Chain A
């Protein structure tokens, strides 16, 4: 099956620092997604990317869809304590009526005030 490699596994940063995480795949996806999961909650969609090369921002978050369609990165600028959580990338391969997400293993972000 399709595999997603997400790195780093965890990050410990100081409030105010910028953060970068990325995902690479052995397969091509035609949509890349970034989710955040707070403790005890389900994942919430942060950014969706639909085209190779696309760069999209959502507040302090910026994500890009790699040109090869096999990678994506997420940047968080000027981190704040509420950025703490697990960030997941997910790739979507859509064909016919099937829309199956493949998730990375997540990046655990800790922000020290």
Chain B
């Protein structure tokens, strides 16, 4: 299994440009997530999905859109790039969280480093 793959690895955008960050997982995970990581900070959840056709906002969704047409893919769309969106973006996936206190590990991709100038 390749696990979670993300493309591109690096990208530089001009203010106002748009782009899509791709994320694919081959582990048949229902849950997928998008995080951003700013320097010296932890990861903040942008959007997540509990299955194909279902998405929900995380902590910092403004300026982003997502779709989930298949189990495998969870692209993240930036419509009007702004300098504040300069960050490293991580996609992750997991099986559904179990009942009670069980937790299903989130597997992370290698990240996409985005710079908006």
On whether A33 and B43 interact (CB within 8 A), knowing A40-B111, A41-B111, the answer reads no
B110 touches A41 (CB 8 A): yes
**Closest Cβ neighbor of B94 among chain A residues:** A99
Q: How many residues of B contact A (CB 8 A)?
A: 27
A105 touches B110 (CB 8 A): no
Counted as pairs of residues, one from A and one from B, with CB atoms less than 8 Å apart, the total is 63
Q: How many residues of A contact B (CB 8 A)?
A: 30
A4 touches B42 (CB 8 A): yes
Within 8 A of B (CB), among A75-103: 88, 90, 92, 94, 97-103
What residues make up the interface of B, taking CB atoms closer than 8 Å to A? Answer: 4, 31, 40-45, 48, 50, 56, 58-59, 90, 92, 94, 96-97, 101-103, 105-106, 108-111
What residues make up the interface of A, taking CB atoms closer than 8 Å to B? Answer: 1, 4, 6, 9, 30-31, 33, 40-45, 48, 50-51, 88, 90, 92, 94, 97-106
